Amino acid sequence: MGLGNIINLYRIQKLYGLLRKAKDNPALLNDMKWWKEVIQTALAIKEIQEMLEGYKTYIIAAIVAVLAGLHAMGYIDEATYQTLLALLAAGGAATVSQKINRIEQDIKNKVNVK
């Protein structure tokens, strides 16, 4: 087991610990520092990075659906909900822009191939 795998396992354990904290203390769902730490930890995990490569748009849509449910149940206040939606919208726009650029580059490569 290499150092990279050990670091990845540490990050997974850290993410589980953060989620357990929220289970015991639902007020954390309104804490932006907690959300930032959860997102940074999750994005540092190798499997999540690999998963995001092909499914970013679907993942963002699923997260929006979960946030809407949490907001409807009263776990997230309006300000936090709007802030998280804005961040996800920016991520969604970046994903679409990246895909458009990739398609444009593929077209250019096919046109230039003789």
Separation CA 31–CA 17 (nearest Å): 16
**What mean pLDDT comes out for the span 39-61?**
76
Q: CB atoms < 10 A from the CB of 76, how many?
A: 21
How would residue 30 be classed by pLDDT, with cut points 50, 70 and 90?
confident
Spell out the domain ranges in the chain: 3-112
- Which one is predicted more confidently, 106 or 53? 106
Residue count of the chain, please give it: 114
Mean pLDDT across the chain, nearest whole number?
82
CA 101 to chain centre: 21
Eight-class DSSP state of 30: G
Predicted pLDDT at 1:
59
Are 42 and 48 a contacting pair, CB within 8 Å? yes
pLDDT at 48: 72
The per-residue pLDDT for 88 is 85
pLDDT confidence of residue 51: 64
pLDDT in tens, 66-105: 888 888 888 888 988 898 888 888 877 887 787 788 888 8
| Angstrom distance (rounded) from CA 77 to CA 33 | 15
